[in-house]
Amino acid sequence: MPDIAIIGSGPAGYYTAEAALKTWGDAARIDIIDRLPVPYGLIRSGVAPDHQSIKGVARRFETTALADNVRFCGNVEVGRDIGIADLAQCYDAVVLATGAPMDRPLDVPGGDLGNVFGSAAFVGWYNGHPDFAWVKPDLSHGTAVIIGMGNVALDCARILAKTRAEFEGSDIVGHALGWLDAGNLSRIVILGRRGAQQIMMTPKELGELGQLAQAMPRVDPADLPPLETDSELEPGARKSLAALRSFVANHGAMIPGMVPIDFVFCSAPHALIGDAAGNVTAIDVEETRLDAGRPVGTGVIRRIPAALVISCIGYRTSPIADVPYDVREGRFANVDGFIQPGLYCVGWARRGPSGTIGTNRPDGFGVVDRIAADFAAAAARGALPAKSGRAGFDALVRSRGLVVISFEDWKRIETAETDRARADAPREKFVVVEDMIAARDIAPS
Ligand SMILES: Cc1cc2nc3c(=O)[nH]c(=O)nc-3n(C[C@H](O)[C@H](O)[C@H](O)COP(=O)(O)OP(=O)(O)OC[C@H]3O[C@@H](n4cnc5c(N)ncnc54)[C@H](O)[C@@H]3O)c2cc1C
């Protein structure tokens, strides 16, 4: 029965392990390898810290993680610490569930100015991802422009706009909470190339924007299509548009102490403008018109002041040596999750950055079906190559002096994070890898 390595412990990785358990029961040996010492991918470092109920899905994965034949091997980066060829010697199947952690670049002049961030960096900062602990956005003045009209843009706007009290019960990391609390932004703009009917935001998240204590969403009624065209939309999009319509009541309103959050449609980033110190001061946008739903530039350029820019325009999978990569799509080259014999991919690494946590479930189950079929076919041909299995992997990491974090270690890290939490928070995450590793040695309280 197969030895399987799943690379990445986000939803796609755990759903794949769940599917493998369903298919082979105790007979398979499943190692879930992650570059971080802590599991769960974007559930921990992407999903907003004030959406704790969504983060709770991680508890479901614990059942899988605690199965006798499933191991978590944290703090091992594939492509750096261990190669694809190494893994191929140990495992019958290697499944890449590495997500899409790199920001799609904002391809306009000035994209490299100071105080311009991609959402992976900005979200990673407030969620305590060790790669982004360095991000210190200047929130001291002026307008924050958020580029993109999806839920990630809404998350960023909401986090920027919330008061300290509104973070009660969240697990936003202390460094970000203090920084946001000291901030003094006067306006937030959410900018999109397309129109109000084309937004990718969901009604619930839009609704939250209308409930903020010290910020108010505003929409210009002139930007909205006639009410009677709403019936042409599918129900979710219709509800989202209804939420936007409710923000029209705030159009033009200036209430002392309330930060306006303005939706600006049909405006494509054209260039970022900076000052002598190299920091962004404005964004030039080109007005667009829609041609069959697609934005087409009109040549009309407008300038919007911007002291902070966050681009939420999508993500790309990080390439790994020896794995075919589709540069145009920004993910591994694959057909329904199959890359090459013995190598597969799932989740965002397979399809790109779209869908919810649950969208990754069928991916995991689909790829396990494929592995089972390939494994059975090879066995029938008598062509199953001998693999060194877990023993081979353990010998490799030992020979390379790697510190591997087990699931039991993670549970100790988790306890340490819970123990050091603020009174109103479920945990205070460690944001430095060495601190995470050291925390496994802290005696539980
Ligand atoms: C800001 C944001 C907010 C979101 N909010 C929601 C929400 O509220 N609700 C919802 O349903 N969905 C939400 N999503 C979507 C959801 O998070 C994704 O659908 C899901 O996490 C994708 O799962 P994945 O396993 O493919 O990737 P990921 O969750 O990114 O997991 C990838 C894992 O692979 C590991 N890894 C990467 N490279 C390597 C390597 N070379 N070696 C070893 N390990 C590696 C990473 O450390 C990570 O643990 C959000 C996404 C973002 C970006």
Q: What is the pLDDT of residues 335-363, one digit of tens each?
A: 999 999 999 999 999 999 999 999 999 99
- Which 3 state secondary structure label does DSSP give 442? coil
For the CA of 318, the nearest atom of ligand 1: 38
Residue 323 Cβ < 6 Å to ligand 1: no
For the CA of 41, the nearest atom of ligand 1: 49
| DSSP secondary structure of 188-219 | EEEE-SS-GGG-B--HHHHHHHTT-SSEEEE-
Residue 10 Cβ < 6 Å to ligand 1: yes
> Residue 359's closest CA among 102, 22, 10?
10
Axis-axis angle for helices 119-126, 151-161 (nearest 10): 50
Residue nearest to atom 41 of ligand 1 (CA): 78
Residue 54 Cβ < 6 Å to ligand 1: yes
- Assess whether pLDDT exceeds 70 at residue 445: no
DSSP 170: -
Asked if 92 and 384 touch (Cβ cutoff 8 Å), the reply is: yes
Residue 312 Cβ < 6 Å to ligand 1: no
For the CA of 13, the nearest atom of ligand 1: 25
Asked if 254 and 218 touch (Cβ cutoff 8 Å), the reply is: no
- What was the pLDDT predicted at 79? 98
| DSSP secondary structure of 94-138 | EEE-----EEPP--STTTTSBTEEEHHHHHHHHTT-GGGTT----
Strands 93-96 and 3-7: parallel
Indicate the length of the chain as a whole number: 445
Q: What is the pTM of this model?
A: 0.96
Q: E strands, 292-377, where?
A: 294-305, 308-311, 315-316, 325-326, 331-332, 338-340, 343-345
Q: Look at the block and give the residue holding tokens 């460690």.
A: 430
For ligand 1, the distance from its centroid to the CA atom of residue 157, given in whole angstroms, is 20
Residue 220 Cβ < 6 Å to ligand 1: no
Asked if 418 and 160 touch (Cβ cutoff 8 Å), the reply is: no
Residue nearest to atom 10 of ligand 1 (CA): 356
> Once rounded to an integer, what is the mean pLDDT over residues 386-394?
96
pLDDT classification of 38: cutoffs 50, 70, 90: very high
- What was the pLDDT predicted at 383? 85
Residue 356 Cβ < 6 Å to ligand 1: yes
pLDDT digits (tens, 9 = 90+) for 287-311: 999 998 889 999 999 999 999 999 9
For the CA of 354, the nearest atom of ligand 1: 19
Residue nearest to atom 20 of ligand 1 (CA): 357
Strands 70-74 and 294-305: unpaired
For ligand 1, the distance from its centroid to the CA atom of residue 47, given in whole angstroms, is 9
Q: What are φ and ψ of residue 406, in 5° steps?
A: -85, 175
pLDDT classification of 1: cutoffs 50, 70, 90: confident
pLDDT digits (tens, 9 = 90+) for 142-196: 999 999 999 999 999 999 999 999 999 999 999 999 999 999 999 999 999 999 9
Q: What is the mean pLDDT of the chain?
A: 96
- What was the pLDDT predicted at 106? 93
For ligand 1, the distance from its centroid to the CA atom of residue 432, given in whole angstroms, is 19
Q: How far apart are CA 347 and CA 355, in angstroms?
A: 9
Residue nearest to atom 8 of ligand 1 (CA): 47
